[in-house]
Structures are given as C-alpha cells and as structure tokens.
Structure 1
Amino acid sequence: MYCIKCGNKTKKTIPTGDNVFREICSACEYIHYVNPNIIVGALPVHSGSILLCKRDIEPGFGKWTLPSGFMEMGESLEDGAKREAHEEANLELNIKYLFTTYSLPRIGQVYMLYLSEIVNDDYAAMHETSEVKLFSKSQIPWDDIAFSAVTFALQNYIADSKNGISGKCHSNY
C-alpha cells in the first residue's frame, strides 16, 4: 500500500497508544485508518404500502431492496437517504424518523434506514434499478429480498404497524 498523503510505501504495524494493526507511512508517519462504511436509505411508504426496488446491479442482482447506498462525504444521513431514493427510484421523500440501524461488523457496514413518506407519484426505475413497485404488507416477496438489513427493517415495520407503534428505532444489536 502507498500513502495517500505523500505516496511512499506504508507498513502494517500497531501505532503507539493503539492496539490494532494499521498501515502507517514509513516517510510521513500518516496513519491510514480503515473504517466501516455507512449505508443510508429509506423505507418509503404510501397509503400503507412499501416501495421496493428490484436491483439491476450486484450484489443482489434481480432481488428486491429498499432504496439505499453508501453515504457520500459532505452529506448528512438524511440527505444521503433522500439522494439514494432519488437515484434509485426517482423518489421525493418526507423523512419521518430514523427507523433502523443494522450493523454488519463482518463486512464493515452500518445501515441507517429512515421511515419516509413518498411525496411524488412519478417514481420510476433508474439506472441501478430494473423495477420499482409498491407492495402491501401481505405481498412482500420475502424469498427475493436482497439483504438481511432490509428483511430486518421490513419485519419491524410490519410488526410496528400491526401493534400501533410509531417513532421507534430498531437495532440488530
């Protein structure tokens, strides 16, 4: 690996005062931290139905998911969720509240999904999506959901709806 600051080679060692191996530049001593990725997205609803996107890219090609993706530098969680919903399904959203946090330490990802109301009616499949569709709670294609974080969010949304719960944030830990 090469240093992003000065271009010299790095070496893997434990920095003073730390307990984890990290890549450290042999010239400028810059420490290269590798941190988890944040995935932001929405659980978009309209009249009790949930909008899902059929993925047109890997991972999960051909499977259904919630509009979500990697957070970009310089944006808030909410702005990232809105951007991803627009990029994947041409959605305009009214974000209600943070609905789900879901940690996947094995692959270094943290999901942050917002319960959101769909504002527009011209939603459509965009470049990473082959189809968008509103599903009633009883019609969700459980066997074709792309990611465990999405299944977790959908299951909790249905349970909350059934039990009259609103405003609760769910976590898998």
Structure 2
Amino acid sequence: MNYCIVCGNFVKKVLLKDDSVERFICTTCNHIHYENPKIIVGSLPVKDDFILLCKRNIEPAKGKWTFPSGYMEIGESLEDGAKREAYEEARLVYEIIKLYGSFSNPRIGQVLFVYLAKILNKDYKAAAETSEVKLFQLNKIPWDDISFPSVEFFLKRYVADFNDNKKFKFHSNFGNY
C-alpha cells in the first residue's frame, strides 16, 4: 500500500504504541489502514449419501472439484453469503442444517466458514464460474482432483462423520495451518 484511501497522500508502516502489528498510517490525515483477512463462505450440499461438488471453471485450480464457496460481500450474513455463492456457482437452493466448521489460512489471510446444507432443488447446473456440477456418492469422491486443502479437509471429515452414525460435529483446523 502506498497511498491513503481517505485522502490519497502517502502512507508509512508504523508500529503503534501498545500494538503488536505494524500498520499503514497516512502521513497527512493519520488514518490507520487495517489489513484484515478475507472471509470465505461455503457449503457442503448433501442428499442422502451424496454430496454436490462443482468443477471450477476459473483459476486457481481450474478443472478441480470443490464445494460451492466464495468471498463474503459487505452487508451479508455468513448464511446469506453461503447461499448466494451456491446459487451463483450451481443454481443451487438449499436449507442450512448447521455451521459445520471453520478453516484458517493465515499465510494468505483467509478464513473459511462452511455450512452443512440439505439440497432442495433438482435443477442445479453449472454457472459462469463452474464447468460442471455433479452429485457424488461419498465413496466416489474424486480425491485426486480436489481443488484446495480446505475442501479436502471438510470432505474427509464429512465422510467420516457420515460413517460414524451421522454425528456431524463442528470441525476446525485450529493449530494445523
């Protein structure tokens, strides 16, 4: 960052008193610019022993499978963002069952929240960011073609929970970055 988003003048990085992180501060208006992680929202849309996955049509990981997810927008709740992303990527409508987990990636400044969701419509289909939408039986998930470590993390836990008498508990990668 070189310029203040408030007044347009130069910024410099400073460690403020009683703070532990250097911040960009405007040299003119003294506005403090906080750099915060991006919030990603997603869902594991399920029906019986099937899970809906989307084949990505954009980079990164174009051609790999993922669950519907994306960046949260200003003015959205986590739930609304997850539902919007599912509709944008797969024209999917669902009912949220529960918050299923969180996944932190401090290296790239992202936090993912994932919901377990019951599929309501049958006319889901690929949209602009997706080349294919498919229901996979849990024993046929394409593990070699999964897009991101966070997606694999939640898919593996869902399969384990399903096989453990459907005890769907909250999952987090806490401490395992």
Q: TM-score, normalised by structure 2?
A: 0.95
Superposed CA offset, 1:8-53 (max 9, x none)? 1101111222121111001111111111111101000112200000
For residue 21 of structure 2, what is the aligned residue in structure 1?
20
Alignment of 1:81-120 (within 5 A): 81-120=82-121
For residue 46 of structure 1, what is the aligned residue in structure 2?
47
Gaps of 5+ in 1: none
For residue 7 of structure 1, what is the aligned residue in structure 2?
8
C-alpha separation in 2, matches of 1:15 and 1:58:
38
Query: Is 1:152 aligned with 2:153?
Result: yes
SS of residue matched to 2:158 = helix
Alpha-carbon distance, 1:5 to partner:
1.0
Q: TM-score, normalised by structure 1?
A: 0.97
Q: Give RMSD over aligned pairs.
A: 0.9
Q: Which runs of at least 4 in structure 1 moved beyond 2 Å after TM superposition?
A: none
Q: How many residues align?
A: 173
For residue 75 of structure 2, what is the aligned residue in structure 1?
74
Tell me which amino acid in the other structure corresponds to 2:72. Answer: M
For residue 134 of structure 2, what is the aligned residue in structure 1?
133
Alpha-carbon distance, 1:167 to partner:
4.2
Gaps of 5+ in 2: none
